[in-house]
């Protein structure tokens, strides 16, 4: 070791004896040129589409998808290759990304996504990682070809103009709206909002007193028996239930809700006259008078429909209720403001009433990346904070005017 160090020191500090200074410098210069050129060539080789496609995960999954899109072939003959979008173009970020690829090499070696099924399972995580990168750098790689400053907005379709001018004003990241332009979108169905995990874990630690009211933190199935075998319906998130007893894994709860006296009366709502879905029962059970007790009935003057105040008891799995609904709304509020403000300023909750929200929300939720559970919570949050419930807010204030980027 000591010898090695000494010979290295000698190598650098002792002047050469037999070789002229000019030869050394010239030799070093040539070696430097060759080394740098070699490095760049190698860098470029790993930045070729052929290199990306040499691993079968890319070749079997992502290439066929790209080939169906306009980024593969089009009338102008300009096309995007993998690294055009997926490798940063600046040196530092590029080198960092290349080193990050050691993770992908490891994945390839241990076969994390070596089948189509495994790939689809991981696709959401992979896509989210890439979306995060694009949102952080303002879709810099897209804008190497498509930049706001080079766009002629007048040549766009009128509907596109509105959205694109606004986006340009805000210098918005392309991928915020244009997801899935080169590959299929991940299956959002299986997606889970990680925020619910903390909710579920705090619900499992919730001590439950019989006879008190609690709120569901996740949707639950309802059963007729304590063994949880006979399914009779389901109850929605954030629904208020009264816990009557707890036996083993099961909990008997009382639902006190409203329904329209029309059809089978399967869908139960939390308030009179408001379409805030709280429970959905099976057809035969909803008509079973020994199960459903009607306490009251009123006519809704708006629709002329008769609403019944109903109550029923059912069993459900325990460990999914909290004594306060606020934690659920906190998640919903965060999701509402982050998902909707991507394309437009979100309207205030109380700008619409509870029966207007479902239609509006249903029309917009497809543009977001919300999973089903989150979407249901957000809708319920909006409805229960709508103008029907808000006292402080005047719906006509100019502040709350809906600004939508999509006409």
- Shortest spacing between CB 21 and another protein, in angstroms: 12
Does residue 98 interact with another protein by CB under 8 A? yes
Burial class (CB in 10 A: 0-12, 13-18, 19+), 157: exposed
Q: Is 21 in the site for another protein (CB under 8 A)?
A: no
Site string for another protein, 28-67 (x = CB under 8 A): x--xx-xx--xx----------------------------
Is 200 a binding residue for another protein by CB under 8 A? The answer is: no
Residues 110-139 that bind another protein (CB under 8 A): 132-133, 136-138
| DSSP code, position 149 | G
For the chain, what is the largest distance between any 2 Cα atoms, rounded to a whole number of angstroms? 109
Nearer CB in complex with another protein: 7/229 = 7
Instruction: Give which of 334, 314, 317 is closest to 196, Cα–Cα.
Output: 334
Closest CA to 232 of 243, 241, 244, 220: 220
The nearest distance, CB 27 to another protein, in angstroms, is 6
3 state SS of 256:
strand
CB of 131 to another protein, least distance (A): 10
The Cβ of residue 66 has, within 10 Å, a number of other Cβ atoms equal to: 20
Instruction: Kindly state the tokens that stand for 214.
Output: 């609690």
Pairing assessment for the beta strands 220-223 and 231-235 based on DSSP bridges: antiparallel
CB of 97 to another protein, least distance (A): 8
- Of 96 and 145, the one with the shorter C-beta distance to another protein is 96
**How far, in Å, CA of 240 to CA of 256, rounded?**
8
Work out which of 45, 70, 95, 125 binds another protein, going by CB under 8 A: 95
Question: Could you give the dihedral angle defined by the CA atoms of residues 203, 205, 211 and 213, in that order, rounded to the nearest 10 degrees?
Answer: -30
- Shortest Cβ 82–another protein spacing (Å): 18
Give dist(CA 369, CA 340) in Å, integer.
10
Q: How many CB atoms lie within 10 A of CB 173?
A: 20
Under rule CB under 8 A, which residues in 62-91 are in contact with another protein?
Answer: 88, 90
Position among 1, 21, 99, 110 found at the interface with another protein (CB under 8 A) = 99
Q: What are phi and psi of 186, to 5 degrees?
A: -65, 155
CB of residue 99 to another protein, shortest distance in Å: 4
Distance CA 95, CA 99 (A): 6
Among 45, 59, 68, 96, binds another protein (CB under 8 A): 96
- Taking the complex as a whole, the smallest distance from the CB of residue 93 to another protein amounts, in Å, to 4
Task: Give the closest residue to 90 by CA, choosing from 137, 151, 37.
Answer: 137
Binding mask 1-20 for another protein (x = CB under 8 A): ---------xx--xxxxxx-
CA dist 215 and 236 (Å) reads: 10
Nearest distance in Å: CB 334, another protein = 18
Of 24, 125, 295, 305, the one binding another protein (CB under 8 A) is 24
Quote the least distance from Cβ 342 to another protein, whole Å: 17
Rank residues 98 and 333 by Cβ distance to another protein and give the closer one: 98
Q: H or E element: which one contains 313? A: strand 306-317
Select 88 or 265, whichever has its Cβ closest to another protein: 88
Residues in contact with another protein by the rule CB under 8 A: 10-11, 14-19, 24, 27-28, 31-32, 34-35, 38-39, 88, 90, 92-93, 95-100, 132-133, 136-138
């Amino acid at each position: 070791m000591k010898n090695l160090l000494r010979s290295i020191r000698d190598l650098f500090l002792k002047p050469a004896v037999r070789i002229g200074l000019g030869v050394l410098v010239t030799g070093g210069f040539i070696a430097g040129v060759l080394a740098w050129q070699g490095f760049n060539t190698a860098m470029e080789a790993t930045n070729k589409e052929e290199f990306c496609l040499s691993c079968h995960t890319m070749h079997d999954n992502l290439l066929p998808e790209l080939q169906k899109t306009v980024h593969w072939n089009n009338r102008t003959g300009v096309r995007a290759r993998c690294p055009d979008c997926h490798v940063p173009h600046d040196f530092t970020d590029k080198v960092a990304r290349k080193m990050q690829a050691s993770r992908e090499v490891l994945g390839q070696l241990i076969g994390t996504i070596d089948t189509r099924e495994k790939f689809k399972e991981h696709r959401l995580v992979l896509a989210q990682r890439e979306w995060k990168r694009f949102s952080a750098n303002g879709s810099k790689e897209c804008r190497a070809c498509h930049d706001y400053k080079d766009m002629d907005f007048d040549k766009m379709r009128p509907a596109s103009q509105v959205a694109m001018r606004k986006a340009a004003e805000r210098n918005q990241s392309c991928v915020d709206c244009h997801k899935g332009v080169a590959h299929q979108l991940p299956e959002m169905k299986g997606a889970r909002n990680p925020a619910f995990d903390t909710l579920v874990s705090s619900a499992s630690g919730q001590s439950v007193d019989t006879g008190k009211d609690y709120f569901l933190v996740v949707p639950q199935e309802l059963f007729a028996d304590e063994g949880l075998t006979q399914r009779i319906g389901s109850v929605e998130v954030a629904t208020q239930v009264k816990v009557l007893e707890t036996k083993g894994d099961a909990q008997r709860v009382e639902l006190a809700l409203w329904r329209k006296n029309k059809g089978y009366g399967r869908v139960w709502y939390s308030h009179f006259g408001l379409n805030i879905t709280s429970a959905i029962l099976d057809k035969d059970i909803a008509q079973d008078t020994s199960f459903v007790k009607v306490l009251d009935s009123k006519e809704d003057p708006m629709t002329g429909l008769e609403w019944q105040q109903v109550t029923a008891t059912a069993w459900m799995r325990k460990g999914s209720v909290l004594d306060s609904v606020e934690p659920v709304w906190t998640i919903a509020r965060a999701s509402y403001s982050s998902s909707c403000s991507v394309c437009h300023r979100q309207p205030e909750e109380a700008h619409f009433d509870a029966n207007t929200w479902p239609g509006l929300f249903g029309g917009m939720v497809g543009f977001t990346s919300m999973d089903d559970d989150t979407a249901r919570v957000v809708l319920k949050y909006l409805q229960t904070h709508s103008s029907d419930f808000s006292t402080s807010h005047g719906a006509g204030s100019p502040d709350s005017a809906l600004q939508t980027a999509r006409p």
